Amino acid sequence: MIRKQYISFIVGLLVLVVSCKEEKTVAPDYSQLKYDSTHIKIFYHDTANHGFPQGSKPAPLYQDDLSMTDSLFKACVTRFNNEQAALLKTIYEKVATEYRRPEYYLIDPTIYKKQYFPYTDENGGRVIFINCFCDEQPAWRTKLVKQTGGGKCYFQLEVNLNKRKYSDFQVNAVDDKIPK
């Protein structure tokens, strides 16, 4: 009888200890993913130094996630380019003749470097913040590239892997390099 009580006490104590243990977050391992590392850098979760929202947690990424992210990225850029193409006539009326070329206003996704910041949001959704730029940035593999101005050379978006949607697409403001 005492032995059964002792075993019950030990089991109860173990359950209590395990349930009271602080939740430990394990950093995901992205090293096995296959992607073009000459154009993409995947950052590990660090809210102090990179583009991760406060309160977010590390997010696991799988090969299929990268394929979906690429597909949504292309859909986002295509939508932007289609909207810009519809405005080109109006834009051309406002700029000097030498700046009336579509490549000044449309995004060519093949020339951009991309920084991926995967995280789990407060709702448990897996999200990748993507920061894109076309200028050479020496430290692009170690820190978030931030730029004011620069127009279509700098843009950002978020991909929600759970919802399979992109959002928060933003192109930086156009600087004054293109005369009117």
2 in a structural domain: no
The boundaries of the domain holding residue 126 are 26-171
For 62-73, write each residue's pLDDT tens digit: 999 999 999 999
Determine the Cα–Cα distance for residues 42 and 29; give it in Å rounded to an integer. Answer: 11
Residue 42: count of CB within 10 angstroms of its CB: 18
- pLDDT(9) > 60: no
Nearest CA to 59 among 40, 44, 81, 76?
Answer: 44
Q: How many domains does the chain have?
A: 1
Determine the Cα–Cα distance for residues 113 and 133; give it in Å rounded to an integer. Answer: 6
What is the rounded average pLDDT for all residues in the chain? 85
31 in a structural domain: yes
Our separate counts of H helices and E strands in the chain read 2, 6
* Confidence (pLDDT) at 5: 56
Write the burial class of residue 29 (CB in 10 Å: 0-12 exposed, 13-18 middle, 19+ buried).
exposed
| Sole residue written with tokens 């009336």 | 100
Average pLDDT estimate for 80-97: 93
For 52-62, write each residue's pLDDT tens digit: 888 899 999 99
Where residue 2 falls among pLDDT bands split at 50, 70, 90?
low
89 in a structural domain: yes
* Confidence (pLDDT) at 18: 42
* Confidence (pLDDT) at 179: 42
- pLDDT(22) > 80: no
121 in a structural domain: yes
For 127-151, write each residue's pLDDT tens digit: 999 999 998 899 999 999 998 888 8
* Confidence (pLDDT) at 36: 96
Average pLDDT estimate for 35-40: 96
98 in a structural domain: yes
57 in a structural domain: yes
Quote the pTM value.
0.80
Higher pLDDT, 15 or 79: 79
7 in a structural domain: no
16 in a structural domain: no
* Confidence (pLDDT) at 174: 66
